[in-house]
Amino acid sequence: MRRLGVRLGQGSHVLLLPCTALMAAAPVISTARGAGLIALGNIIITAGILFISTRRDGPTIRATMLSLFLAVLTLAGVLGWQQLAARLEMMFVDKMSTRTEVYRNSRVIAEEYPVLGTGPGSFGTIYRLYKEPTQTWDAYAHDDWLELKITFGWIGFGAICLMLVIALARWFGSSGIPLRWDFVGLIWVAITGCLVHAKFDFPFQIYSLHLLFLLLCSILFCSSRASSEP
């Protein structure tokens, strides 16, 4: 593809760079333990993908990307790392904010409703029947994978996982919109980070994150390998 002769930094789209840096640093600034650790991992993997995909570009492009990633890490470190580090030290002292109790009670529910589950959206209501009187009444299991098995059962859980695998693997097929490997790789990183986070928290109970996740899966489902891909 022919590159347009534009100077670096020209165009209004550069205004998105500080917004991108702030969004990337936001999980650390929020002091959410799981989100912060996963965000740091995603930043490192994203940097690797972009540096590999731009290995044939000039040093100015790579230096600009390096500056952006350093800005993200600096912003996260200055505004949130001290508070996040303190919370990480308390992770095992406070039993992950009593989540171990929620996990233990939730596994009992999953064992009693293994096939069809309790029904979508029913966890908050049924959990009160399985908690101890002195325990907190939680609306979410703090484990979206476990809550999915509880509310949908193994049948629904298996169907949803199958659809997810199809969406992730669709790029290796044909008859879709050709997309470069690095663009698809960044979507995979975002989706994987959300799925890992869902094991220890409830990102899919937040409508904005849930919608974005479905949007990224829809893009993958409509994609295919670019004709120039090896």
| Torsion angles phi and psi, residue 224, rounded to 5 | -155, 170
**CA torsion angle 124 163 26 16 (round to 10):** -140
Q: What is the pLDDT of residue 228?
A: 57
Contacts of residues 153-160 at CB distance under 8 Å and 24 or more positions apart, as own/partner, are 153/113, 153/114, 153/115, 153/116, 153/117, 154/114, 154/115, 155/115, 155/116, 156/116, 156/117, 157/117
Structure tokens at 105: 């009670």
How many Cα atoms within 13 Å fall on the side-chain side of residue 14? 8
Per-residue pLDDT of the chain (230 residues; tens, 9 = 90+): 445 555 555 666 777 878 888 888 888 888 888 888 898 889 889 989 988 888 887 787 778 788 888 888 888 888 878 887 777 777 666 556 678 889 999 999 999 999 999 999 999 999 999 998 888 889 999 999 999 999 999 999 999 999 999 999 999 987 889 999 999 999 999 999 999 999 988 999 999 999 999 999 999 999 998 765 55
Axis crossing angle, helix 95-112 with helix 144-169, rounded to the nearest 10: 80
- Partners of 177 in the β-ladder: 223
pLDDT for the residue 65: 80
* Structure tokens belonging to residue 168: 């992730």
CA distance 163 to 227: 26
- 16's enclosing H/E stretch is helix 16-29
pLDDT of 204 reads 93
Model pTM score: 0.82
- pLDDT value for 1: 43
DSSP track, 161-229: HHHHHHHHHGGGSSSSEEE-HHHHHHHHHHHHHHHHHTTTS-GGGSHHHHHHHHHHHHHHHTEEE-TT-
Please report the pLDDT score of residue 105 as a whole number.
94
Identity of the residue numbered 203:
P
What does the alpha-carbon distance between residue 194 and residue 210 come to, in Å, rounded to a whole number? Answer: 10
CA distance 228 to 122: 48
List Cα–Cα distances, 220 to 162, 172, 188, 198, in angstroms. 14, 10, 9, 20
